[in-house]
Every structure is written in C-alpha cells, then in structure tokens.
Structure 1
Amino acid sequence: MAYPAKTSHFQRQPTRAALGSFLGTLIEWFDFYIFATASALIFNHVFFPETTPVIGILSSFATLAVGFFARPLGGIIFGNIGDRVGRKPALVMTLVLMGGATVGIGLLPSYEQAGILAPVLLVLLRILQGIAVGGEWGGAVLLANEHAPEGKKSFYSSFAQLGSPAGLILALLAFRYISSLPDEDLYSWGWRLPFIGSLLLLIVAFIIRRGVNESPEFQSDKIAEDAQKLPSPVRVVLRESWPKVLLVMGACTIGISSAYFTNTFMIAYTTQFLGLDSSVILGCLSIVAIVQLINQPIAAWLSDKVGTGTFLLIASGGSMLVPYIMFTLVETQQSGYIILGISLAKIFSSAFYAVIAGYVVSVFPVRQRYSGISLAYQTCGALIGGTTPFIGTLIAGNSNGQWWPLALFYSVLSAISFICVLILIIWQRSAANVVTSSGCVMEGDKVISEVADSRV
C-alpha cells in the first residue's frame, strides 16, 4: 500500500511552523552556546582551578565535547518518538529537558565549594543538554520543512538553522556584559546569570511551540498505517540506509564544525595565543553572528533558485579557500580586520549550514526522516563539532600559535563536506525516476513521492 504523497487536506502552517522552529532552536542553541562560551572563559577557573591555563581550557573543552557525544543518543531517543508518535511531542520534550539542564548548571556549586562533585555534576547536566539538542535539530527542521510549500523547502527549513546564530548573538551579548564584572564577582555569581535567565526564554518558546500543528506529512503518513506499530525507525535506517547516514554525516561536517571553530575555539585562540582581551573578541563575534543571521535566509532563498546541490558545492568549495584570508586578518589583532576575516569565513559556512538541513531531508522517507537526519547530524556533531575546539587548541599549542596549520585543518573539514555532497548528488541523480531501497521515488535530487517498503 502506497503512502499518500499529497497532504492538502491537512492544514499547513508554513509561517507559524518556521517561527516555532526558529524560537525553539534559538533557546536550545542559546543554552548550548552559553556553555560553549563559558567553557572558553569561565569553567577552567570555576571547575578546574588546580591546573595550568592550557590544561584548564582543555578540560573545559573536554566537558563541552561530552555534550556532543550525547547528541546521537538524543537523536535515537527522540528520532523514535518523532517518527512514531509525532514531531511536535518530541520537540516539546527536548525544549523542557534543555531548559531544566541549563538552569541546573547555573545553580551548581564551584570546585572550591563541593570539590570533585562540582565538575561531575557539570558533566552530567552537560550530557542532558547534549541529549536535548540531539533530539531538537531533526524535529525543528522537519516541522518547518514538512509545513513548507513546494519550491520553498530550503527557505523555510533554514528558519530552524537561524536559531543557531540568533542564540549565539544572545549568548555573546550576555557574556560580553558579565565579562565586565570584577573577576571575583564574575567567577562567583556573574557567570550564572545567563544560565538561570534562560528560563524566561524557555517559557516563551514553549508557549509558541505548543501552538504549532503537527506536521501535515506525518499526519497523512500516519493515517496510511499506525506509525506506532512499525519497527524502530533507527534500526530500519541503520539496516537499509547506512551508506546515506555516513554520507550525510560527512556532508554536515563544515556546517557543524565551523560554528565551534570560529565561535568557541577562536575565543581561546585570540585570548590565549594572541593576548587579545576577551571583551574584544566577544564584541567582534557578536557582529559576525549578525552577519550570519542576515546571510542564512538569503542563502536559502538563492539555493531554491539555483539548486541546493550546486549551491552546497559552491559554499563548501569557498570554505576550503577562505581560512587563509581569515587568519591573516585575525593576526592583525585589529577589531575591524578580525570582523572582516571571520565574516568572510562565515558567509560561506553559514550559507552551507542554512541549506544542508533542507537538502538532507530529501534523502530519507517520511517514516525514517526524524531518525535518519538526527542520527547522521548528531553523530557528526559528536565526532566533529565537539572535538573541533579541542583539536584546534592542540594544534595551536603544538605549533606555538602559528595559524597556517589551523587554516589547513579548516580546509580539510570543508573538503569532507564538498566530497560527500558531490557523492550524494551523483547518487541521487543516478536514482532518478526509480524506486530506491529506502522507498523513495526520486527525480534528480528531489523526492517526488514515497511508497511503502515491505520490510518496514
């Protein structure tokens, strides 16, 4: 029995769904970024005070990486919920989990107050953050994508991606404000304010997300056959579509890693190796985040015009070349040049990041989408995103702060995305107008209908 391809009898809410996805991911990424920023500036003093500065930063970044390693688990847990129960219930749960973990971090005792228990609790709450983000991204992208009208899928999907730069802007502004406090106040109570204050954002996002209807495509698909009677979507994806999972993982590399290279590692690099004041780099990154926020919807709109595959190749190709310009400008230690250099890198990487979400949705059928894209994206995040600041710090430490090995590292990350997107394009075009093993009828790189797979 074929799953219905058209869902016109279900009410689509493209604008409301896009807004709900944006606000939901904003709070999720604000919570995630304030942890990342605190890892670069605060946690080595509060939770790892009995180490050298470099070891303290590495310990903080290791704690940051723990959250990334928990993200695939979140993708599996909430992917199953999202593919079997619904996108909306999964997203409400991830929001509450993330908010609770973040407020809990803001209430933690310091190492001086609780000893080893303090960093242990920090790691546990970080794991909960990772699980929440692991389940959030796939659902937010799908909710916007599956409500969107045909021909505008990339544009509406990009609103889920806008939560990242918007959350980053709020996180950087918050830390730029508290970083002006005296050190004694900053390390005792000042750093806690963004974490506890995120509760207000959580309430607003929760109310708005509750008002968005379930995905029309999921509702139509669920009517064809009770989704809860299906085998685990994650098992089906791993059994039938594991090559696609690997390719999507590789394709997402620069979109994920660039954020933590320029937004997290760059803070540590400029303050520890160039001697720049933290308020200067935080101010520069705040402006760069605004550039990213403006660039992403424009990039998504353009990709719907020129083709998402072609656009992604251009964006990842540009990302391979731009880090050499970026570091040359950052090395001047002048704010204007720093902003220009990082912005140039962000124009390419954020364009890729905005478009990749809508592109990978087409790789998997409706019943496997939440699980498929979440597993691929979050595993990439664990392997690449979480380790990027750590590896960057090791490279900088071993090269005495020289920038060219770091630029080469960035180019390699970009090349991985370029190659995997190219393979996906070739694969999808070769499968044009045939039924693939995952149950999708393809036309170029676009899913035009979905049919039941007897093994599902």
Structure 2
Amino acid sequence: MTTNPTTSQAVAVSGPDARDQRRAYTASLIGSIVEFYDFAIYGTAASLVFGSIFFAGMSPAVGTIASLATFAAGYMARPLGGVIFGHFGDKVGRKSMLMITLIMMGTATMLIGLLPTSAQIGSLAPVLLVTLRLIQGIAVGGEWGGAVLMSVETGSQKSRGFFGSATGVGAAAGALLATGSFALLGFLEEDQFMSWGWRIPFLASATLIVIGAYIRLKVSESPVFKAAAEKAAEKKETTEERKQAPFVNLIRNHPKRLALAVGVYVGPVMAQSIIKIYVVSWATTNTDVSRGVILNALTASLAVMVVGVPLFAMLSDRIGRLKVYVPAAILFAIASFLIFPMIATGSTALVFLAFFMTMGVIESACLGPVGAILTEAFPTKIRYTGTSFAYQVSSMVGGGFGPVVAALLATTLGMGALPVSLMMGAFCVISAVSTLMLGESRKTDLNNV
C-alpha cells in the first residue's frame, strides 16, 4: 500500500457528526437495495422466464444461454457506467451522481416489466430487452462506487469496514427482495407466472425508487471529497491537472494498483453469480430439486447475508482486511467443488446447507470488507473512478460472463459441473493472491492516499 504522508501534511477535515454518518450509511444502504433489487430480478427472470418468452423460436437449452447472455450484457455495460459516473463523481461530487443512477435504474426496470414478448412483436422484443439491460448496467456501474464512497468517506477511520458494508448489505437485501418476490409468486400456475406473474417484481420497483430518492436527497456531500476540492483550490492546480480525466489518470499512473483491485473481487463475484443464476437453472433441469426449494434456499441464504455482511465488515475493522478476506476467498475456491454434488443429492437439507455455506457465510465474508478494501486503494481525486471501474470490471468478468461460460462448459464438454467448479475455484485463488499483493489497508488515511 502507498505510504501515507505524515499527519502534519494532511488537510484539516472536520469530522462528520453521528447524524451525518447515519444518513450517509442509510442513503447508501437504501439506494443499493433499490439498485441491486432491480439488477437481481433480471437475473432470476433470465434463468426462469426470459428464455421461453423472449427467445421463443430457440430450443430450451439455447434459449437459456441466450437469456443468460442478455444478463451478461448488463455486466458488460457496468465498467462504462463506472467510468462515466466516476468521472463526474470525482469532478463534481458523489451525491448528484447517485440520484441520477437511481432514477436511470428504476426507469429501465419498470420498462422491462412492461415489455411485449417475442410472440407479440417478434425480434424487436429481445432487442428492447437488451437495450434496457444495458441501461441497467450503466446505472449500477455508477451506483456502487458512489454509494460505497459516500458511506466510507463519511464514516470514521476505525469503522470504515462497517460503513463500506452498506452497499454489501444493500446488495444482499436487494437480492433477497428479488428472490423473495419470485418465491412469493409460487402460488401462481405455470401459465399465469409465465404470461404476467413475472412482471410484478419489475413493476414493484417504483415504490423502492421513491423511497430511495427521498432518503438520498437528505444526505450531505462526502467530507473527504469536499476537503480534496478545497485543497486543490488552495494549491491552484494547473489547468492541465484540473482537466485531466480521472480515468486517464488512473490508467497512466496506477495501472498495477488497478489490476490488483480488479483481481480482488473477480473470484467471489463469479462464484456467487454462478450460484444465484446458473445453479438455479442447472438444479431445476438436472436434478429432482424443485424450483421452489432452490429459490427458498437461496432466499434463506440471502437473509443470512444481510446479517453476515456487516458482521464480517466489523471484524475486518478489528483484525484487518486481509485476515478476513483472503481466507474467505480460499474457502470459496474449496466450496466450488462441493455445492454441485450437495445439490445433486436431491436432499432439501443439503441444498439449504450448500447455499448457507457459500452465500450465507463465505460470500458475506467477501462482500463485507470489499468496499473498504477498494476504497482504500485509490487517491481521492480518482477514487470514484478507480473504485467503480475495478469493481465493475470484476463484476463483468466474474458475474457477467461467469454464468454464461458455466452454461457453455457444462453443455459442451460433457463433464457435468466439474469444469464450472474448476473455473470458480481458479478465479477465487486469483482474488486471494491479488488481495495479498494489494496489502493491508485498514489504517490508511483517506485524505493522504
């Protein structure tokens, strides 16, 4: 980690009071719930519904792969969102970008819920679906970095891990709401669910958007960002320095740090995305486990995450980021070889245990500290861009392509789930090594990075 300047070199920053900290945490939490609920319901619908209603002319297997490819499209757009909103977030401020991303995400999600199917408008249906998915990806690409920075930069140094976990808790809670919303529709007949029932979770997003926007309007700008802006004005930075795009600065001056930051979360996000998306589809088509059991097990594990994420984040504040994150990434690599055999038994108890072990515990230990780890890796003037871009590239590679590649590996190599486990395990090891190379950052002064 970059050696910090002495305390005397720091810009004096008046610490935010407890009310500002609570507001920042709540704003990041609620906004992340909305964003990730919207993003997650698409993933569930892609694995259960979209293959047959938007790609009706294809075989079920090809339709599923095509549907998961549209899911991946959202992940491909996320780095672009990180660059766009990171640029303005580093130049203008964090708060305004978070309002824009929230509205973008919610609008795209509601429109997906209103889309006609391919039986109604033909090939235009999947085109519109992909377009709205790309808008979702751009929005969430700018959301995560801004939300985690707003919370971490407002929180105290000794509790940055906890404040950084707001987005992780929001992601878990959003995914929980998304999965739970589909589970609650289990009373519908299959034809009812496929014709109109799947639309309900998308349209329900409107309520969450109003709540999220109201809360975010009340939060103050990040004190670390304001201090950096004042410091730049006092130093009278040259025109070239002021005009340099944060992304250009990031690529030119911090390429190694960026590469390591990308590696930090690529394994865990691949593992959890495959579990939430591909495993749901795999289990319902290759085992005797019902869709209801799988969704209930996933829902229960996400409920555990809502509690587990902040607990592991607080543990990282106490003992260090590396001591929490690295063992968790290694355990995820090991668990990658256990989850498929456990689900294949058909035992409801083992299915629930598999999801509890991977999502409830291990992913909580990864998601809890990762916001603080990435925030602490970059200087303030490029922190929004660096944090967002690193996280979203990880999400694109691991979360976006992971389920699609998993489906291709399982269907083309004829080796069952083993190649999928090997891929998940290898990327989790990469994450453990990248985190070790990035170094311990718990005591870093964000004003002096």
TM-score (norm 1): 0.91
Q: Please name the residue that 2:424 is paired with.
A: 410
Q: Please name the residue that 1:317 is paired with.
A: 330
Identity over aligned residues, as a percent? 33
Aligned: 1:109 with 2:116: yes
Residues of 1 paired with 2:425 and 2:92: CA distance? 41
* Aligned residue runs from structure 1 range 144-163, under 5 A: 144-163=151-170
Superposed CA offset, 1:23-60 (max 9, x none): 10000000001000000000011100111111010000
* Equivalent residue for 1:360, pick from 356, 370, 374: 374
Taking a change above 3 Å as real, the CA distance of residues 401 and 180 of structure 1, as seen in their structure-2 partners, is farther
Bigger CA drift: 343-352 or 263-272?
Answer: 343-352
Q: CA deviation at 1:176?
A: 1.3
Amino acid at match of 1:246: A
* Equivalent residue for 2:365, pick from 351, 373, 382: 351
Superposed CA offset, 1:139-195 (max 9, x none): 010011011112110011101111111011111111112243223322221111111
Aligned: 1:305 with 2:321: no
Taking a change above 3 Å as real, the CA distance of residues 218 and 272 of structure 1, as seen in their structure-2 partners, is same
The question of whether the paired residues in 2 share the 8 Å contact of 1:138 and 1:370 is answered with yes
Amino acid at match of 1:263: K
* Equivalent residue for 1:269, pick from 282, 287, 293: 282
Q: Please name the residue that 2:246 is paired with.
A: 233
Q: Which runs of 5+ in 2 are unaligned?
A: 1-7
Amino acid at match of 1:173: G
The CA RMSD over aligned residues, in Å, is 2.0
* Equivalent residue for 2:397, pick from 372, 383, 393: 383
Aligned: 1:254 with 2:267: yes
Superposed CA offset, 1:253-296 (max 9, x none): 12321221111111111012214321221111111111222211
Taking a change above 3 Å as real, the CA distance of residues 3 and 111 of structure 1, as seen in their structure-2 partners, is farther
Residues of 2 paired with 1:24 and 1:449: CA distance? 23
Q: Does the residue aligned with 1:252 lie in a helix, a strand or coil?
A: helix
Bigger CA drift: 3-12 or 286-295?
Answer: 3-12
Task: Select the structure that is richer in helix.
Answer: 2
The question of whether the paired residues in 1 share the 8 Å contact of 2:47 and 2:280 is answered with yes
Q: CA deviation at 1:115?
A: 0.5
Amino acid at match of 2:34: I
The question of whether the paired residues in 2 share the 8 Å contact of 1:173 and 1:286 is answered with yes
Amino acid at match of 1:142: L
Q: Which runs of 5+ in 1 are unaligned?
A: 429-443
Residues of 2 paired with 1:408 and 1:151: CA distance? 38
Q: CA deviation at 1:15?
A: 1.6
* Equivalent residue for 1:372, pick from 378, 386, 401: 386
Taking a change above 3 Å as real, the CA distance of residues 252 and 3 of structure 1, as seen in their structure-2 partners, is farther
Q: Please name the residue that 2:176 is paired with.
A: 169
The question of whether the paired residues in 1 share the 8 Å contact of 2:65 and 2:404 is answered with yes
Residues of 1 paired with 2:61 and 2:393: CA distance? 27
* Equivalent residue for 1:58, pick from 45, 50, 65: 65
Q: Does the residue aligned with 1:387 lie in a helix, a strand or coil?
A: helix
* Equivalent residue for 1:286, pick from 275, 278, 299: 299
Bigger CA drift: 26-35 or 228-237?
Answer: 228-237
Q: Please name the residue that 2:14 is paired with.
A: 8
Q: Please name the residue that 1:332 is paired with.
A: 345
Aligned: 1:447 with 2:434: no
Taking a change above 3 Å as real, the CA distance of residues 332 and 95 of structure 1, as seen in their structure-2 partners, is same
Q: Please name the residue that 1:434 is paired with.
A: none
Q: Does the residue aligned with 2:445 lie in a helix, a strand or coil?
A: strand
Superposed CA offset, 1:339-371 (max 9, x none): 111211221222112111101111111111000
TM-score (norm 2): 0.92
Q: Please name the residue that 2:355 is paired with.
A: 342
The question of whether the paired residues in 2 share the 8 Å contact of 1:3 and 1:224 is answered with no
Q: Following superposition, which runs of at least 4 residues in structure 1 exceed 6 angstroms of deviation?
A: none
Taking a change above 3 Å as real, the CA distance of residues 287 and 450 of structure 1, as seen in their structure-2 partners, is closer
The question of whether the paired residues in 2 share the 8 Å contact of 1:5 and 1:449 is answered with no
* Equivalent residue for 2:97, pick from 81, 90, 106: 90
Q: CA deviation at 1:374?
A: 0.7
Q: Please name the residue that 2:5 is paired with.
A: none
Bigger CA drift: 175-184 or 9-18?
Answer: 9-18
Taking a change above 3 Å as real, the CA distance of residues 27 and 361 of structure 1, as seen in their structure-2 partners, is same
Q: CA deviation at 1:9?
A: 5.8
The question of whether the paired residues in 1 share the 8 Å contact of 2:336 and 2:425 is answered with yes
The question of whether the paired residues in 1 share the 8 Å contact of 2:317 and 2:442 is answered with no
